């Protein structure tokens, strides 16, 4: 029979499965093979999902399973969509009524299917949505939008919002994911919109696709100029090429062009950018101020006095915001809520990679152990300082029988830390150091490892005087930064910024601190060299060199070459290193044994 769930429309023989592996043909009916099995069941705020015009700040119960009907290069959810075993013991068996009851018990406003696609667990999600609506809960999902008209018509009456990821307006892009055409997605955006489901559309901005994103905006505008368009600045992970990543400035320039085509455009994955805010399309008044909140996420920080009952009080323009903003702020715990879970799993995989673990089954076993009990919370704490980090390395080594390699790794790290510590008594003046992500005003929160690296290298972390809490930080004002007056600024290697653009941002915003005047602003040798895997030891050496060049003379490039050969068993190729915590280069592959 032809599977009716997604527009790949797999032809499936009796007792066989379709391309996604999630459904089996039995008596000429497609049955869900792994129903009611959840990897994530945890609260999340609306903007973190992300939806920006639907019940601002509302609290939802996030549910996520495994698998996907697509197979896309550079997928940010690859660890749950492709790599997690579909029958992992980490999966929780929960009936629809149990899911609904959890949402009610945790005082959630609704339930949302996120991270992997609901098309991978369609019938389970449909049953939950049906029951949730009966219990007065909101429902929604993020999806690639590849529904058939049949599956869309089944789900739409029970769905309140949908965030549809549009990969482009080219069949080749969809064929690279295993699909056939982009046209079903455009059809479904309009169908959901016409059926009264709140629709937001997300697309990726890569260095080479400005024209395509502009064409997407024009296409959406034909349906409605009020549909919010979320521009996801491309974060190259998994096997994606770092050269496809645009700078924040390049994405902001595209954003400005898009705002002439649509009323509401938002730029994600760009810490410190003002392009996550909502402005009145008529008069330009600020309505909602938001911050970067991890990959693909945001956080509503301020509701302007210009916002009154879905109306701009400045010009009285009616704003298409569904639901009143919740006054109570919900902050996700540690790695919970949205894509930070995938980063947590990547951190484990990245640590295992340095131990020589190449079997995906071993990685998955460690993930499963992490996801039991309070493993995620412990990991979030343990990665913030060396001794706890060492405990985590020992723990993973014991699980994978790589204790000998772990001893070598930790001996190397301890040796470099000891060299730095030995010289610290000679430091006369400790420079004041400010650590940012992306643009100048996005300060890393005080508990981040990067701030501890600054202190280990003989600096004073001014971030710790700001009292910022929550991942991974938040915007501060120009006045606050100028008052801090740091001597040195380091830019996070996870989401960094070309130095020339960073200095331009500082000039435009009136940032006149010592670090700008003396040109002591630094990036790292390569992405993810200061957080996310044991590679941070290379970042520590670089920080020491920059803070105290009179004391430290580490050849960081030489050390990186040694580290890669010794612990990844591969030569260093700087140009192949992307934003992945898990993989030392875009070419690194696990063995699926």
Q: What is the mean pLDDT of the chain?
A: 94
Q: Where are the beta strands (DSSP E) in 90-243?
A: 92-93, 110-113, 138-143, 161-165, 198-205, 229-233
Rounded-to-integer distance, Cα 174 and Cα 181, Å = 6
Rounded-to-integer distance, Cα 62 and Cα 56, Å = 16
Q: What is the pLDDT of residues 225-235, one digit of tens each?
A: 999 999 999 99
Rounded-to-integer distance, Cα 490 and Cα 510, Å = 18
Torsion angle (degrees, nearest 10) of CA 113, 118, 121, 124: 50
pLDDT value at 338 more than 90: no
Rounded-to-integer distance, Cα 533 and Cα 494, Å = 11
Rounded-to-integer distance, Cα 433 and Cα 536, Å = 17
> Stretch 101-106: mean pLDDT, rounded?
98
In the structure encoding, which two tokens stand for residue 184, read together? Answer: 């079903």
Q: Give the residue carrying structure tokens 């790695």.
A: 335
In the structure encoding, which two tokens stand for residue 48, read together? Answer: 């973190």
In the structure encoding, which two tokens stand for residue 213, read together? Answer: 């994103």
The pLDDT value given to residue 81: 73
pLDDT value at 366 more than 80: yes
Rounded-to-integer distance, Cα 284 and Cα 296, Å = 25
Q: What is the pLDDT of residues 385-430, one digit of tens each?
A: 888 899 999 999 999 999 999 999 999 999 999 999 999 999 999 9
Q: Is the dihedral of CA 122, 338, 111, 99 positive or negative?
A: positive
- Half-sphere exposure at residue 285, Cβ-oriented, CA atoms within 13 angstroms: 18
In the structure encoding, which two tokens stand for residue 233, read together? Answer: 């600045």
- Half-sphere exposure at residue 343, Cβ-oriented, CA atoms within 13 angstroms: 22
Give a three-class secondary structure readout of 443-478. Answer: EECCCCHHHHHHHHCCCEEHHHHCCCCCCCEEECCH
Q: Are 546 and 519 in contact (CB under 8 A)?
A: no
- Half-sphere exposure at residue 199, Cβ-oriented, CA atoms within 13 angstroms: 27
Rounded-to-integer distance, Cα 3 and Cα 150, Å = 11
* Top-ranked range on mean pLDDT: pick from 85-94, 328-337, 457-466: 457-466
The pLDDT value given to residue 497: 96
Closest CA to 234 of 198, 270, 285, 196: 270
More confident residue, 202 or 359: 202
Confidence of residue 377 (pLDDT cuts 50, 70, 90): confident
Q: Are 441 and 528 in contact (CB under 8 A)?
A: no
Per the DSSP assignment, residues forming a β-bridge with 474 are 443
In the structure encoding, which two tokens stand for residue 301, read together? Answer: 């920080």
Q: In the chain, what percentage of residues exceed pLDDT 70?
A: 99
| Preceding peptide of 201 cis, ω within 30° | no
Q: Is the dihedral of CA 308, 312, 315, 319 positive or negative?
A: negative
pLDDT value at 593 more than 60: no
Q: Are 141 and 114 in contact (CB under 8 A)?
A: yes
Rounded-to-integer distance, Cα 452 and Cα 582, Å = 22
Q: What is the pLDDT of residues 212-262, one digit of tens each?
A: 999 999 999 999 999 999 999 999 988 889 999 999 999 999 999 999 999
* 229-260 as b/e: b if 16+ CB within 10 A: bbbbbbbbbbbbbbebbbbbbbbbebbeebee
* 402-432 as b/e: b if 16+ CB within 10 A: beebbebbbebbeebbeebeeeeeeeeebbb
pLDDT value at 333 more than 90: no
Q: Is the dihedral of CA 557, 562, 568, 573 positive or negative?
A: positive
Q: Are 379 and 395 in contact (CB under 8 A)?
A: no
Domains in the chain, CATH or no CATH each: 23-82+93-273 (3.20.20.70), 340-421 (no CATH), 424-576 (3.40.50.1980)
- What's the gap between Cα 406 and its chain centre? 29
Rounded-to-integer distance, Cα 213 and Cα 193, Å = 20
Closest CA to 48 of 39, 58, 38, 40: 58
Rounded-to-integer distance, Cα 319 and Cα 204, Å = 25
**The length of the chain, given as a count of residues:** 593
The pLDDT value given to residue 7: 95
């Amino acid at each position: 029979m032809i599977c009716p769930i997604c527009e790949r429309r797999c032809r499936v023989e009796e007792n066989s499965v379709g391309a996604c592996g999630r459904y089996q043909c039995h008596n000429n009916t497609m049955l869900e093979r792994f129903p009611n099995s959840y990897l994530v069941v945890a609260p999340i705020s609306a903007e973190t999902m992300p939806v920006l015009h639907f019940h601002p700040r509302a609290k939802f119960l996030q549910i996520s399973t495994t698998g996907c009907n697509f197979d896309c290069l550079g997928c940010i959810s690859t660890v749950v969509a492709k790599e997690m075993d579909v029958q992992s013991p980490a999966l929780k068996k929960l009936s629809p009524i149990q899911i609904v009851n959890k949402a009610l018990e945790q005082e959630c406003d609704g339930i949302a299917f996120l991270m992997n696609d609901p098309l991978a667990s369609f019938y389970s999600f449909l049953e939950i949505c049906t029951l949730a609506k009966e219990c007065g809960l909101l429902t929604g999902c993020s999806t690639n939008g590849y529904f058939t008209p049949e599956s869309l018509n089944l789900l739409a009456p029970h769905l309140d919002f949908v965030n549809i990821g549009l990969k482009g307006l080219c069949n080749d892009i969809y064929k690279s994911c295993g699909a056939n055409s982009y046209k079903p997605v455009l059809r479904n955006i309009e169908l959901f919109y016409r059926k009264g489901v709140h629709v937001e559309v997300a697309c990726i901005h890569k260095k080479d696709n400005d024209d395509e994103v502009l064409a997407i905006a024009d296409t959406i505008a034909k349906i409605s100029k009020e549909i919010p368009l979320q521009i996801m600045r491309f974060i190259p992970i998994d096997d994606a090429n770092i050269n496809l990543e645009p700078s924040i400035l390049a994405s902001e320039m595209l954003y400005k062009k898009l705002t002439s085509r649509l009323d509401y455009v938002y730029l994600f994955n760009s810490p410190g950018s003002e392009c996550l805010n909502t402005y009145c399309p008529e008069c330009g008044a600020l309505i909602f101020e938001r911050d970067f909140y991890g990959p693909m996420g945001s956080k509503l920080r301020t509701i302007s006095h210009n916002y009154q009952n879905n109306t701009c009080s400045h010009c009285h323009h009616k704003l298409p915001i569904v639901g009143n903003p919740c006054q109570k702020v919900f902050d996700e715990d540690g790695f919970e809520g949205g894509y930070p879970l995938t980063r947590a799993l990547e951190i484990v995989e990245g640590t295992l990679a340095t131990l020589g673990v190449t079997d995906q089954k071993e990685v998955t076993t460690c993930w499963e152990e992490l996801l039991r009990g309070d493993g995620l919370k412990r990991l979030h704490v343990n990665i913030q300082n060396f001794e706890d980090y060492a405990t985590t390395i020992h723990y993973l080594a014991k699980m994978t029988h790589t204790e000998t390699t772990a001893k070598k790794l930790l001996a190397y790290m301890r040796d470099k830390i000891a060299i730095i510590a030995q010289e610290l008594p000679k430091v006369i003046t400790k420079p004041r150091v400010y650590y940012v992500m992306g643009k100048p005003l996005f300060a890393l929160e005080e508990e981040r490892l990067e701030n501890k690296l600054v202190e280990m290298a003989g600096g004073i972390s001014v971030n710790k005087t700001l009292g910022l809490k929550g991942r991974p930080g938040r915007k501060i004002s120009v006045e606050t930064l100028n008052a801090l007056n740091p001597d040195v600024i380091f830019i996070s290697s996870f989401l960094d910024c070309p130095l020339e653009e960073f200095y331009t941002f500082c000039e435009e915003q009136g940032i006149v601190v010592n670090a700008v005047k003396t040109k002591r602003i630094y990036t790292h040798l390569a992405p993810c060299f200061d957080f996310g895997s044991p590679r941070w030891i290379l970042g520590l050496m670089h920080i020491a060199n920059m803070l105290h060049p009179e004391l430290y003379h580490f050849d960081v490039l030489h050390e990186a070459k040694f580290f890669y050969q010794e612990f990844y068993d591969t030569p260093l190729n700087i140009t192949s290193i992307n934003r992945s915590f898990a993989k030392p280069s875009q070419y690194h592959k696990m063995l699926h044994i």
